[in-house]
Amino acid sequence: MANYTAADIKALRADTGAGMMDVKKALDEADGDRVKAIEILRIKGQKGVAKRGDRSASNGLVAASATDGVGTLVEINCETDFVAKGEKFIALADQVLTQAVAVGAASVDELLASTLEDGKTVKELLDEANATIGEKIEVRRVARLEGEKVVSYLHKTSPDLPAQIGVLVAVHGDEAVGRDVAMHIAAFTPTVLTREEVDAETVASERRIAEATAKEEGKPEAALPRIIEGRVNGFFKENVLLEQPFAKDAKKSVGKVLEEAGTKATAFARFRVGQ
């Protein structure tokens, strides 16, 4: 019988993030030797990294940093919420975010190729985490914003999980208003800052749908232009940040709230884990 206790299993799980059965098998093979068991977990885990390539990593967390007019947002994914809320995964995410800030990464490829202080790339760091934790772990998205001020906001959708929604907003003016807008973005999921950013093909498609719907409803021909315009404007109000009704005062648009505060939003980014 291997020379280890339940406390040894718990400690090794905490150190590696590996599953219960994997830890027990490693300790059995190592005859209770913790250092050797970690080595076994890493070796067996590395062999399984390629096999995990096609598995779905739809859990995870969003991490953010905003300082001195620069904001960075990263989404790091894993397979289960059990791993997502574990100390090992959260510490890994913090390390990846710190590296993204340090190298000014604005894309996943740029971040993965960057080199940490110990000489490893971020990709190699993630491969090691894949090996020890036993789940597919990946950086899904990276965003970087610059502005006079950049505000970050993280939102938990469940009290026992790390942040699942992250927002960055670049503003000129009142930072407190910028934070209110960031919270609004977390809740109301705008896709663009201004209507000019919506591509012409999308607008044309919305007009066609609005027209076809109005005709299907039997609306009079003379009223069609007004109805179509109203429905297209409704599309803009749903998707354009500056035109959305403000979360704290639906009688005003986000654009109006910013204007009254003498503040201008210049860019934003929003990530939700798995979406």
pLDDT digits (tens, 9 = 90+) for 220-240: 999 999 999 999 999 999 999
Residue 56's pLDDT is 62
Report yes or no: 208 and 224 within 8 Å, Cβ to Cβ: no
Q: Which of 99, 104, 32 is nearest to 68 (CA)?
A: 104
Extract the tokens encoding 265.
């939003």
Extract the tokens encoding 242.
């500056």
Average pLDDT over residues 132-152: 93
Domain locations in the chain as residue ranges? 6-54, 59-188+262-272, 195-260
State the Cα–Cα distance between residues 53 and 137, nearest whole angstrom. Answer: 9
- Global pTM reads 0.78
Report yes or no: 108 and 142 within 8 Å, Cβ to Cβ: yes
Residue 6's pLDDT is 86
Angstrom distances, CA of residue 95 to CA of 56, 125, 202, 231 = 23, 10, 39, 46
Digit-coded pLDDT (tens) for 43-83: 666 444 444 555 667 899 999 999 999 999 999 999 989 99
Digit-coded pLDDT (tens) for 239-263: 999 999 999 999 999 999 999 999 9
User: What topology is assigned to 59-188+262-272 in CATH?
Assistant: Tetrahydropterin Synthase; Chain A (3.30.479)
Q: Would you put residue 159 in left (φ > 0), alpha (ψ -120 to 50) or beta?
A: alpha
Model confidence at 116, pLDDT cuts 50, 70, 90, reads very high
Token pair 């993965």 is at which residue? Answer: 112
Model confidence at 274, pLDDT cuts 50, 70, 90, reads confident
CB count in 10 Å sphere of residue 187: 11
Digit-coded pLDDT (tens) for 5-18: 888 888 877 766 66
Report yes or no: 40 and 29 within 8 Å, Cβ to Cβ: yes
Residue 55's pLDDT is 62
User: What topology is assigned to 6-54 in CATH?
Assistant: Helicase, Ruva Protein; domain 3 (1.10.8)
Angstrom distances, CA of residue 66 to CA of 61, 144, 218, 240, 268 = 17, 10, 52, 23, 12
Digit-coded pLDDT (tens) for 79-101: 989 999 999 999 999 999 999 99
Digit-coded pLDDT (tens) for 170-196: 999 999 999 999 999 999 999 999 999
Work out whether strand 59-67 and strand 70-78 pair parallel, antiparallel, or are unpaired: antiparallel
Token pair 């020379």 is at which residue? Answer: 3
